[in-house]
Amino acid sequence: MVQIKSKREIDLMRQAGKLVAKVLMQLTEKAKPGVTLEELDRLAEELTLSYGAKPAFKGYIGYKHTLCTSVNEQVVHGIPSKRELKDGDIIGLDFGLVYNGFYGDSAVTVSVGENISDRAMKLMQVTKDSLYAAIDASRAGNTLKDIAKAIEATVTPHGYGIVREFVGHGIGMKLHEDPQIPNYEAGASGFKLKPGMTIAIEPMINEGTHQVKVLSDKWTAVTADSKLSAHYEHTLCITDGEPEILTSWDDAFQNTFQSLTSFSDWKKGAYGERGLNPSGGNGR
């Protein structure tokens, strides 16, 4: 059953979403060469608790960590370890929390260090673009097929593979609610979106084949051909007009880095020319 959230529930999800953005933003700053995946996980947990929230993933179907850290050919659900990030890596940071009973869930893929290949940059950009295309399609009256079509239209011209095994999802009082939201058209239904639905959209896009396999740790999904993969995710609310991105970084910025003058200055400082963060080019 797909729930319609009340105004009050959406406001609580807005609060949870802002905290998710705040944590992810700070994790992104720390994702530098030499930092271990465990250190990022510990920081994620500390920040979450310091905001009075709880990690959403820890304890979820046996997952033991706060963060998923998926490096290079890892697609999703990479387990934080003592592995150190290296210059030239790309890392997917997938994070969720629960605050006053409501969940937020979001992911970004960011580059580590200075020497990022053009291939990696392009894959990240196209994957992020596909998330924003999907968000634009998330309007009352549109269907889950429209979301998947928007993703497909963005990525297939580049010859990339869309992962099928993992999907987006409804979200609210639980991390995963109905409906499931596939990122490829053939997998998506004609289910219609209505105002008040809260969903998490999360395209996982591979440089090569769409096929993935799961490592013996039972969690880490990797590309079948060992080529790169990228993942972006936002939690959003369907409205009468434009969808509202509940995990947007723009508001989170203001109370996280008060000493900086603007979000765009922060982006420049944090990313230089690399400029890849989960906000779209249109100020979201």
Examine residue 179 and say whether the peptide bond preceding it is cis (omega within 30 degrees of 0).
yes
Build a one-symbol-per-residue string for 86-105: x at contacts with Co ion by CB under 5 A, - elsewhere: -------------------x
Nearer to Co ion, 191 or 271 (CB): 191
Please state, in angstroms and as integers, the Cα–Cα distance from residue 208 to each residue in 77, 89, 108, following that order: 19, 17, 20
CA distance linking residue 231 with residue 213, whole number of Å: 16
Judged by CB under 5 A, the residue of 97, 200, 228, 236 near Co ion is 200
* Residue with Cβ nearer Co ion (116 or 167): 167
Distance CA 69, CA 62 (A): 16
Task: Give the CA distances from residue 122 to residues 159, 171, 205, 226, in Å, rounded to whole numbers and listed in that order.
Answer: 12, 30, 11, 17
CB of 1 to Co ion, least distance (A): 19
247 versus 256: smaller Cβ distance to Co ion: 247
Q: Report in angstroms how near the CB of residue 166 gets to Co ion at its nearest.
A: 9
Considering the complex, state which of residue 103 and residue 263 has its C-beta at the smaller distance from Co ion.
Answer: 103
Number of residues in contact with Co ion under rule CB under 5 A: 2
Candidates 125-133, 183-191, 192-200, 265-273: pick the segment binding Co ion (CB under 5 A): 192-200
Instruction: Compute the least distance from the CB of residue 92 to Co ion, in Å.
Output: 12
Q: Which of 116, 171 has the CB closer to Co ion?
A: 171
Per-position DSSP letters for 35-89, written without gaps between them:
-BHHHHHHHHHHHHHHTT-EESSTTGGG---SEEEEETTEEE-PPP-SPBP-TT-
Between 126 and 204, name the residue whose CB sits nearer to Co ion: 204
CB of 171 to Co ion, least distance (A): 7
Nearer to Co ion, 116 or 162 (CB): 162
> For Co ion, which stretch binds (CB under 5 A), given 3-11, 25-33, 193-201, 250-258?
193-201
Handedness of CA 232, 238, 241, 246 (dihedral sign): negative
**What is the Cα–Cα distance from 251 to 255, expressed in whole angstroms?**
7
Q: How far is the CB of 137 from Co ion (least distance, A)?
A: 18
Q: Does 45 bind Co ion (CB under 5 A)?
A: no
d(CA 132, CA 280): 7
Provide the minimum distance between the beta carbon of 233 and Co ion in the complex, in angstroms, as a whole number: 5
CB of 105 to Co ion, least distance (A): 4
Q: How far apart are CA 84 and CA 9, in angstroms?
A: 40
Q: How many residues does the chain have?
A: 284
Note the residues at the interface with Co ion (CB under 5 A). 105, 200
